[in-house]
Chains A and B, each alone.
Chain A
Amino acid sequence: MTDSLATPMIPVDAAAEPLPPPRRRSLLKRILADWSVRAGGGVLLLLVLVSLAAPWLGTIDPTAIDPGSGNLMPGTRGEFNSLAGDTFEHLFVMGTDSLGRDIWSRTLYGARVSLTVGVAVAVLAVVFGMLVGLLGGYFRRLDSAIMRLMDGVMAIPGILFAISLVALFGGKLLTVVVAIAVPEIPRVARLVRSVVLTVREEPYVEAAIALDTPTWKILVRHILPNAIAPLIIQATYVCASAILVEAILSFLGVGLPADMATWGNIMAEGRAQFNQFPHNVLFPGIFLALTVLAVNILGDGLRDTLDPKFNKRGG
């Protein structure tokens, strides 16, 4: 059951039983043995390595323009005349866009941006969602108000919210990351809250409270560990969704600055001539689909091994 802006979830408030304390070594082994984790994680790892190794994989400056080399078909070997005046030969593996920029280079460097956005959004959503969820779940008085606020945020369809935020505050990297993360926070918060609510009733927590343990210690020592597994799973789904949403925002023209090489921007630029030069849209599209697929499958694998009760928990 995936969960994110792009795919919603079932909010079942039924309390779930807490996990038995995991046996460290066999858990890790179990995770790595799962087929989904291997497949998804493997592809992702490959992608990260490729994007890091971009400068050595037959790429040129992804922003370099050569109008004379516009709209070359994939596999063309040709001369690149940069605006600065220098000329060199280059194999355009995936062809060029209308300004003569090499799509292979843009796609590889674009992977960096997409992955960064995905991870940044996931981290942001998880951190803030966790804070909100902890507060709401632990402090009864705040709970009602916080949950109403989260309901309100969730009522605004995620993409609309993201689009509006970017429209209002501009299209810089930070704004886009925040805009995509904000609508994801309520779901993470709910998840954490439901964990907190269940764990709270446990005898060892009650004992800790009775012993006057400071609140933060209780939260960190007892409650948090139970939330980690669901949070990690949720984080992967948020990451997948964020990568997709960034592409959608760029496609609509309300995403990252147009001169930045991102998959969404490449596709947005190529859409004006899709019929004659589909490579502009198809190549980054394939990379995008593969990446999102890999992350989703990884998330499924993690969920199956870490927390089979994920669905019931409101994840």
Chain B
Amino acid sequence: MLSKRNLKAVVAGTMLAAAAATSAFAQDAGKVLRLVPQSDLKILDPIWTTAFVTRNHGYAVYDTLFGVDEQGKVKPQMVDKYTTGADGKTWTFTLRKSLEFHDGKPVTSEDVLASLKRWGQRDGLGQKMYAALDKAEAVDASTFRLVFKDSFGMVLDALSKPSSNPPFIMPARVAATPADKQIDDATGSGPYIFKKEEYRPGEKVVYLKNAKYVPRTEAASGTAGGKNVYVDRMEWVILKDAQTQANALANGEVDMIEWLPPEQYTALKNNSAITVDNPIPKGSFALHLNHVIPPFDNPKIAQAAIMAINQEALMRAQMVHKELYNSCASVYPCGTTFSSDKTGYFTGKPQFEKAKALLKEAGYDGKPVVLMYPADFALLNKFPPVMAQLLKQAGFNVDMQSMDWPTLVTRRAKKDPVDKGGWNLFITGWGIADNMNPMFYAPLTGNGEKGWFGWATDDKLEQLKFEFLASADEARRKELATAIQQRVYDTGIYAPIGEYKPLTAYRKGVVSGVVRSPVNVFWNIKKS
């Protein structure tokens, strides 16, 4: 029978033990970077989907053959050296030594070729590359060769493609998964290891430092250079509500918000404990139209819809602060190599009367056009209400349908008429890495149903793209890029809504080392 005194001792002892246990637990965790990602991570396969959050996950756990630095120059990453045959048709690559997957197995050419093949089945530029390929073979465990039928001008661009979909390298056994099925194994050779046991979709995603990763010796720049990890653990804390994210950051409950919703910009900018940063130079938004069903299968009606765009109003609604956005009528980012002001009828300012006239000419029947509205996606959800009213001013009837982002992503794949669940328009965002080059930009397709959602058919456009790929002359490429731009507007495939500065926020004095890059990358970050 325990006496009172003994009982007290037991209780005290238990509590001490519990306290010790909890503090030991805290010590094991080491340095933890807690980050709020742009959205929930539900899909782990960055080849299967173009979603940016999955791409960012990809950059954490995988590595790439080449990267692009801050200036946009292609730099080798997993590749040690490479040579080109004199005719430009043969490319031989040698991998760095000491590349290992998280399961301890070395990275071999077999893994590389299998990964590239799978990527080539999904990605637009990858498809073009594989169509031009004669053969892809492993020379030995660390050397592989690509032989093209004709000179393919964008080999390095393809292998270093920074944004969706980047050609991540996976183990051959994982890359053997058919391209229309998602992988379920996140083993890679990147600087972080995905901790499957602690993955709770909707709540958090956990990555551990890959202690065996051997980074390159150059400084980190863009997606190139040394991918050093200075924390022991990275946790993605899923917070959907913009106010909650800001509150959590202000309170120190999280360290970093990947994409800062513009409505929180002023509050956090004025908070002396927070740094608001702009590591990704810029991004853009575009209105995409569906060309396989009426009414936008008629180019005149498509043009009328594009004429309704009021870039200033749309961007102001979404980004709120003048320093965070600008108009740009070119389909390429303003200020980059291919941007051009030869945009035909498109000015970025609304032309309601002209639009109405076009509708009359084309015989628009008044059926409402379905505009998809991702109500939950903080970075896109202000556009549709404004766009709907602009379209109405231009003479359209509009049916703005509310849904969440994953539903929109599924629904945009439907080619059915609207009464069977189809769509006519939606707006989405892109990064500078996506549209600075016409061959990178996923939605810039004119090959009908084989192309990106919207499925416009424009043979002239495809011809111009083909010529662009084949040409190596800078001046000629510029001409072709401008011609491509004009085709986009003439057919009414899509239209730019404006450019914006993607913002990141993190705790001042606690987080440092955020890399300047065309996409969000999480190596090189220090936490004090």
Which positions in A face B, CB cutoff 8 Å? 63-65, 67-68, 70-71, 83-85, 98-100, 171, 253, 257-259, 271-276
Query: Which A residues lie within 8 Å of B246 (CB)?
Result: 275
Contact A275 B243 (CB under 8 A): yes
- Given known A-B contacts A83-B390, A83-B393, A273 and B242 have beta carbons under 8 A apart: yes
**Bound Cα distance A68, B350 (Å):** 16
Contact A98 B390 (CB under 8 A): no
Query: Closest CB-CB distance, B397 to chain A, in whole Å?
Result: 14
Residue of B243, B247, B317 near A65 (CB, 8 A) is B317
Query: Which A residues lie within 8 Å of B317 (CB)?
Result: 65, 67, 70, 98-100
Query: Which A residues lie within 8 Å of B404 (CB)?
Result: 253
Whether B62 sits at the interface, judged by CB under 8 Å, is no
Query: Which A residues lie within 8 Å of B316 (CB)?
Result: 67-68, 70
Residue of B378, B385, B393 near A272 (CB, 8 A) is B378
Contact B247 A275 (CB under 8 A): yes
Closest to B393 in A: A84
A-B contact pairs, 27 of them (CB 8 A): A64-B389, A65-B313, A65-B385, A65-B386, A65-B389, A67-B313, A67-B382, A70-B316, A71-B320, A83-B350, A83-B386, A83-B389, A84-B352, A85-B352, A98-B317, A98-B382, A100-B317, A253-B375, A258-B375, A258-B400, A259-B400, A271-B243, A272-B241, A273-B242, A273-B263, A275-B246, A276-B267
**Bound Cα distance A145, B350 (Å):** 62
Query: Which A residues lie within 8 Å of B243 (CB)?
Result: 271-275
Residue of B320, B373, B388, B389 near A98 (CB, 8 A) is B320
**Bound Cα distance A271, B246 (Å):** 12
Query: Which A residues lie within 8 Å of B385 (CB)?
Result: 65, 99, 258-259
* Nearest 3 pairs of A and B residues by beta carbon: A67-B317, A67-B316, A272-B242
Query: Which B residues lie within 8 Å of A100 (CB)?
Result: 317
Residue of B266, B314, B388 near A259 (CB, 8 A) is B388
Interface positions of B from 296 to 330, Cβ below 8 Å from A:
310, 313-314, 316-317, 320
Query: Closest CB-CB distance, B6 to chain A, in whole Å?
Result: 48
Closest to A274 in B: B243
Query: Which A residues lie within 8 Å of B310 (CB)?
Result: 83
**Bound Cα distance A310, B419 (Å):** 49
Q: Please tell me the size bucket of the interface on B.
A: 20 to 34
Query: Which B residues lie within 8 Å of A85 (CB)?
Result: 352
Interface positions of B from 370 to 410, Cβ below 8 Å from A:
373, 375-376, 378, 382, 385-386, 388-390, 393, 400, 402, 404
Secondary structure at chain B's binding surface: helix, strand, loop or mixed? Answer: helix
Closest to A170 in B: B401
Query: Closest CB-CB distance, A49 to chain B, in whole Å?
Result: 30
Query: Closest CB-CB distance, A242 to chain B, in whole Å?
Result: 21
Query: Closest CB-CB distance, B419 to chain A, in whole Å?
Result: 13
Interface positions of B from 236 to 262, Cβ below 8 Å from A:
241-243, 246-247, 261
Whether B264 sits at the interface, judged by CB under 8 Å, is yes
Given contacts A98-B317, A271-B243, 10 further A-B contacts (CB under 8 A): A64-B389, A65-B389, A70-B317, A84-B393, A253-B376, A253-B404, A257-B402, A272-B242, A272-B261, A273-B243
Query: Which A residues lie within 8 Å of B313 (CB)?
Result: 65, 67-68, 83
Residue of A70, A258, A271 near B402 (CB, 8 A) is A258
Contact A99 B386 (CB under 8 A): yes
**Bound Cα distance A272, B239 (Å):** 12
Query: Which B residues lie within 8 Å of A274 (CB)?
Result: 243
Contact A70 B320 (CB under 8 A): yes
Closest to A98 in B: B263
Query: Closest CB-CB distance, B317 to chain A, in whole Å?
Result: 4
Closest to B246 in A: A275
Query: Closest CB-CB distance, B51 to chain A, in whole Å?
Result: 20
**Bound Cα distance A275, B267 (Å):** 9
Interface positions of B from 214 to 243, Cβ below 8 Å from A:
241-243
Closest to B316 in A: A67
Query: Closest CB-CB distance, A80 to chain B, in whole Å?
Result: 13
Closest to A63 in B: B389
**Bound Cα distance A83, B317 (Å):** 12
**Bound Cα distance A71, B382 (Å):** 13
**Bound Cα distance A274, B261 (Å):** 13
Query: Which B residues lie within 8 Å of A99 (CB)?
Result: 317, 382, 385-386
**Bound Cα distance A84, B241 (Å):** 32
Closest to B313 in A: A67
Query: Which A residues lie within 8 Å of B393 (CB)?
Result: 83-84
Closest to A64 in B: B389
Residue from B310, B313, B393, B404 having most chain A Cβ neighbours under 10 A:
B313
**Bound Cα distance A171, B403 (Å):** 10
Query: Which B residues lie within 8 Å of A171 (CB)?
Result: 402
Query: Which B residues lie within 8 Å of A70 (CB)?
Result: 316-317, 320
Query: Which B residues lie within 8 Å of A276 (CB)?
Result: 263, 266-267
Closest to B389 in A: A83
Closest to B317 in A: A67
- Given known A-B contacts A84-B393, A257-B402, A275-B243, A67 and B375 have beta carbons under 8 A apart: no
Query: Closest CB-CB distance, A54 to chain B, in whole Å?
Result: 20
Query: Which A residues lie within 8 Å of B378 (CB)?
Result: 272
Query: Closest CB-CB distance, A60 to chain B, in whole Å?
Result: 14
**Bound Cα distance A258, B267 (Å):** 26
Query: Closest CB-CB distance, A149 to chain B, in whole Å?
Result: 32
**Bound Cα distance A64, B243 (Å):** 25
**Bound Cα distance A132, B263 (Å):** 50
Query: Closest CB-CB distance, B402 to chain A, in whole Å?
Result: 5
Query: Which A residues lie within 8 Å of B389 (CB)?
Result: 63-65, 83
Closest to A260 in B: B402
Query: Which A residues lie within 8 Å of B266 (CB)?
Result: 276
**Bound Cα distance A259, B384 (Å):** 10
Contact B263 A272 (CB under 8 A): yes
Query: Closest CB-CB distance, A308 to chain B, in whole Å?
Result: 45
Contact B267 A67 (CB under 8 A): no
Query: Which A residues lie within 8 Å of B261 (CB)?
Result: 272
**Bound Cα distance A100, B389 (Å):** 13
Query: Closest CB-CB distance, A238 to chain B, in whole Å?
Result: 26
Query: Which B residues lie within 8 Å of A64 (CB)?
Result: 389
Query: Closest CB-CB distance, A112 to chain B, in whole Å?
Result: 20
- Given known A-B contacts A68-B316, A70-B317, A273 and B375 have beta carbons under 8 A apart: no
Query: Closest CB-CB distance, B351 to chain A, in whole Å?
Result: 11
Query: Closest CB-CB distance, B269 to chain A, in whole Å?
Result: 12
**Bound Cα distance A273, B242 (Å):** 7
**Bound Cα distance A273, B316 (Å):** 16
**Bound Cα distance A15, B242 (Å):** 53
